[in-house]
Structure 1
Amino acid sequence: MDDRLNESTNVTIKSIVINIVLSISKIGAGVFGNSNAMVADGIHSASDIVTSIGVLLGNIIARKPNDEDHNYGHEKAETLVAFVLSLILIYVGFKIGSSSFKLIFNLNDIKTPTILPIIAAIVSILLKEYQFYITIKVANKINSPSLKADAWHHRSDSLSSIGALLGIIGSRLGFKILDPIAGVLVSILVIKVGIDILKTSANELLDYSINKDEEEKIRNIIISVEGVNHITSFKSRKHGPYVYIDLAICVDPNITVYKGHEIAHNVEDKIKESIDNIKGIAVHIDACTMRYNEKKY
């Protein structure tokens, strides 16, 4: 667990440093280069600093061991952080969209930008795509919901910079309305990403089950264990990046208690050998004579 959290912490600290530099550069380029779009984009980058700090706090909490008040550990802190980050993403999306929409009806308020914001936007796109790549790579490797949310926040900032770049170029060519229209389109993309992350994290906080393909794979592993007649019940719930499983299996009623206990242990061991992110398995033994091929589990 420490290794996965260390990887998350390292990539997050790198992101914070990059975002501090980007925020200052973009806001400065926007102010001195007459670009409202670039100022807004710089503020968006500043929000990335806040969310990355949130990921770090989630890592610190998730690292804590089980205690009397949290018998199952603190890994859900990562999911909670992802939930909060999704709300920030949605808020940022609405703010960008609102500001851009107002400018559509006030084109006289838009000044013609200089070349400086264009350079800042191009640099921002390259750096934010780099941040997205390194963050999503680690997030997928360690199965971290909060880091995945942070990665998509980087991608939303890249999209924001693309929108700002198109708007700035359009404004310099005399099409001022392109700036706010691009901002509205970017805001819709940011909001969509935020809603997707919100749905995923909310489901996990509500003990969302694993998907049907994963469940089918585990069921096949269980029924392949010698002594298991069929599966009486199967329940799963996500706990941050990990999964807990509660199941009941049917075994021959004439075997000893020791033998039944051994079969349960074999089921647990085989699942953990095949699936990496299983944290806990509870196996209940039922006595029955029905074989697996006589009843669909």
Structure 2
Amino acid sequence: MRNNYDEANKVTIKSIIWNLILTAIKVLAGIIGNSTAMIADGIHSASDIVSSIGVLIGNFIAKKPNDEEHSYGHEKAETLVSFLLSILLIMVSFSIGYNGIKLLFNTEEIKVPTLLPLIISVVSIIIKEYQYQITIKVAKKTNSPALKADAWHHRSDAFSSIAAFIGIGGALIGFKLLEPIATIIVALFILKVGLNILKISTNELMDYSIEVEEQEKIIDIASKIENVIEVRHLRTRKHGSFVYVDLTVQVDNALTVSEGHEVAHKIEEKILESMSSIKGILVHVEPSEKLREK
């Protein structure tokens, strides 16, 4: 588990370094090159720095061992960070969108950009897509919701750079209105990503269940354990990058307490062995008068 957090931290630190460079270049290019779309894109990259720092903080808290006050561990810190990142993205989208709309209705304030921000937008697209790919790869490997949120933050920045490219390019060939329109499109991209992350993180904070396919896998594993007659109830809840499971199975009522305990132990052992995302399982054994079908 610690290795997962270490790997997540490495890719996050790289993201912070890249975004510091990109933010400085974009904002400077936007100011020098008269491009509001590029400045907006630079602000988006700056929000990426904040989100990545949030991921580092979340990972630091999440990898702490269980204690008396947090007997289930601290993994939900990752989900909490995802929730806060989504709020940040939504706020950034409203700020950028407002500036774009304001320019749209004050066309005399629109300046024709130079070639510099157009070139920087292409560089940004390449770098941000690269960041998305390396981050989402580690996020899937570690099953980290905070890192997934950060990866999509990078992808939204790539989208915003594409919109900036179109707006700047259009303005350069005489379509000045494309600049503020591109700024508004950037804001909408960011808003969509923010709302999606908000939905996912809110569900996880409310003990959202794992996917149906994973639940079916748990039932299938438990059903194949010797002396299990029927799986009666299954409850799951996401806990950061991990999962907790509550399971009720029926066994022959002729089994001794010791034999019933052994059945529960085998179920736990097999599920933990087969599904790395599961951190803890509670198996309740009930007696049944049914005979297990051969």
Task: Indicate the TM-score class for this superposition, using the shorter chain for normalisation.
Answer: over 0.9
CA contact (8 A) 1:163 1:179 kept: no
Offset, 1:129: 0.6
Instruction: Name the counterpart of 1:243.
Output: 243
CA contact (8 A) 1:82 1:198 kept: yes
d(CA) in 2 for partners of 1:281, 1:17? 40
Find the counterpart in structure 2 of residue 90 from structure 1.
Answer: 90
Give the corresponding residue for 1:101: 101
Q: Following the alignment from structure 2 to structure 1, what is the Cα–Cα distance between the partners of residues 37 and 258? A: 70
Hey, what does 2:169 align to over in structure 1? 169
| Deviation of the 1:291 alpha carbon | 4.8
**In the alignment, is the contact (CA less than 8 A) between 1:86 and 1:194 conserved in 2?**
yes
| Residue ranges of structure 1 left out of the alignment (5+ in a row) | none
Secondary structure of the corresponding residue to residue 244 of structure 1: strand
Equivalent residue letter for 2:108: N
Q: Distance in 2 between matches of 1:247 and 1:230?
A: 11
Instruction: Give identity over the alignment, percent.
Output: 57
**Residue 126 of structure 1: CA displacement?**
0.8
Deviating runs (4+, > 3 A) in structure 1? none
Q: Distance in 1 between matches of 2:99 and 2:84?
A: 23
* Aligned position for 2:55: 55
Aligned residues: 294
One-letter amino acid of the counterpart of residue 277, structure 1: S
Residues 215 and 291 of structure 1, relative CA distance in 2, 3 Å threshold: farther
2:190 corresponds to which letter in structure 1? V
> What is the CA-CA distance between 1:149 and the residue it aligns to?
0.3
CA distance in 2, matches of 1:219, 1:17: 45
Shift of 1:271: 0.8
SS at 1:248 equivalent: strand
- Which residue is equivalent to 1:21? 21
Residues in 1 aligned to 2:129 and 2:79: alpha-carbon distance in whole angstroms: 24
What value does the CA root-mean-square deviation take over the aligned residues? 1.3
Whether the 8 Å contact between 2:40 and 2:183 is mirrored in structure 1 is no
Matches within 5 A, 1:1-297: 1-291=1-291
Q: Residue 249 of structure 1: CA displacement? A: 0.8
Give the Cα separation in 1 of the matches to 2:254 and 2:182.
Answer: 72
Q: Distance in 2 between matches of 1:193 and 1:126?
A: 19
Whole-angstrom distance in 2 between the partners of 1:20 and 1:99: 23
How many angstroms apart in 1 are the aligned matches of 2:195 and 2:290? 46
TM-aligned CA deviation for residue 260 of structure 1: 0.7
Deviation of the 1:234 alpha carbon: 1.2
Measured in 2, the distance between the counterparts of 1:290 and 1:93 equals 59
- AA aligned to 2:193 is V
Give the counterpart letter for 2:137 in structure 1: K
The Cα of 1:116 is off from its aligned counterpart by 0.9
CA distance in 2 between partners of 1:49 and 1:237 (Å): 30
Residues 166-219 of structure 1, C-alpha deviation per residue, up to 9 Å, x if partnerless?
111111111011112222223222211111111111111111111211111111
Q: What is the deviation of 1:246?
A: 0.8
Structure 2: give runs of 5+ residues left out of the alignment. none
CA distances 1:241-292 after superposition (whole Å, capped 9, x unpaired): 1110011111111111111111111111111121111100011111112256
1:29-69 per-residue CA deviation (whole Å, 9 max, x = no partner) reads: 11111111111111111111111000000011011110010
Distance 1:38 1:287, change over 3 A: same
Distance 2:253 2:34 in 1: 81
Map Cα deviations across residues 107-147 of structure 1 (whole Å, 9 max, x no partner).
Answer: 11111111111111111111111111110110011100000
Taking structure 1 as the reference length, what is the TM-score of the superposition?
A: 0.96
Q: Is the CA contact 1:230–1:290 (under 8 Å) kept in the aligned structure 2?
A: no
Alpha-carbon separation, structure 1, partners of 2:290 and 2:79: 41
Q: Distance between the aligned counterparts of 1:188 and 1:28, measured in 2?
A: 23
Is the 8 Å Cα contact of residues 113 and 171 (structure 1) preserved in structure 2? yes
SS across alignment from 1:60: helix
Of 210-219 and 180-189, deviating more is 180-189
Q: Is the CA contact (8 Å cut-off) linking 1:229 and 1:289 kept in structure 2?
A: no
Question: Aligned letter for 1:256?
Answer: T
